[in-house]
């Protein structure tokens, strides 16, 4: 028997919350809310002690998936994995199913995103690619065919 009910969200730590929100809004997520989480109680969850974090919750159009964007005010961030290659251990990327992948990638490139490789077709199922968006965040985009 599984205790799992659902996946609540995936988190990404960013330097600029405003830029990250704008990037993910361009993909199609909506800003659900923005708040500060501070104090020792929060640090007891994360193991960071007294902390102050500004958080923005983004939600997919279907309302089923969320992305939590966090900007640490205190303590300072201590590592930066944003430019790690796709095969780096422990590295995470988020994949979105989209419509009109070519048009979306073109819009994102105009805003400074980088195409990691190429937009490729997998059998007769998907066209997909990886892009690096604001702050080098790795994002996968997949358009279902047929």
State the burial class of residue 70 (Cβ atoms within 10 Å of its Cβ: 0-12, 13-18, 19+): middle
pLDDT less than 70: residues of the chain: none
Classified by CATH at the fold level, domain 1-78 comes out as 2,3-Dihydroxybiphenyl 1,2-Dioxygenase; domain 1 (3.10.180)
What does pTM read for this prediction? 0.88
The pLDDT, as a whole number, for residue 2 is: 78
The pLDDT, as a whole number, for residue 6 is: 79
The pLDDT, as a whole number, for residue 86 is: 82
Write down the residue that tokens 């290659």 correspond to.
85
**CB–CB of 13/72 below 8 Å?**
yes
The pLDDT, as a whole number, for residue 78 is: 87
The pLDDT, as a whole number, for residue 49 is: 86
Yes or no: domain 80-146 corresponds to CATH 3.30.2020.30: no
Task: Give the residue range(s) of CATH 3.10.180.10 domains in the chain.
Answer: 1-78, 80-146
State the burial class of residue 85 (Cβ atoms within 10 Å of its Cβ: 0-12, 13-18, 19+): exposed
């Amino acid at each position: 028997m599984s205790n799992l009910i659902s996946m609540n969200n995936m988190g990404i730590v960013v330097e600029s919350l405003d830029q990250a929100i704008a990037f993910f809004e361009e993909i199609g997520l909506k800003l659900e809310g923005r708040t500060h989480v501070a104090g020792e109680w929060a640090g007891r969850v994360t193991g960071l002690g007294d902390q102050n974090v500004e958080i923005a919750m983004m939600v997919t159009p279907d309302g089923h998936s969320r992305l939590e964007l966090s900007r640490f005010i205190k303590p300072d961030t201590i590592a930066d994995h944003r430019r790690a290659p796709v095969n780096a251990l422990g590295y995470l990327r988020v994949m979105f199913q989209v419509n009109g992948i070519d048009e979306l990638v073109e819009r994102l490139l105009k805003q400074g995103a980088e195409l990691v490789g190429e937009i490729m077709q997998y059998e007769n199922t998907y066209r997909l690619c990886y892009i690096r968006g604001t702050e080098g965040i790795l994002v996968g985009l997949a358009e279902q065919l047929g």
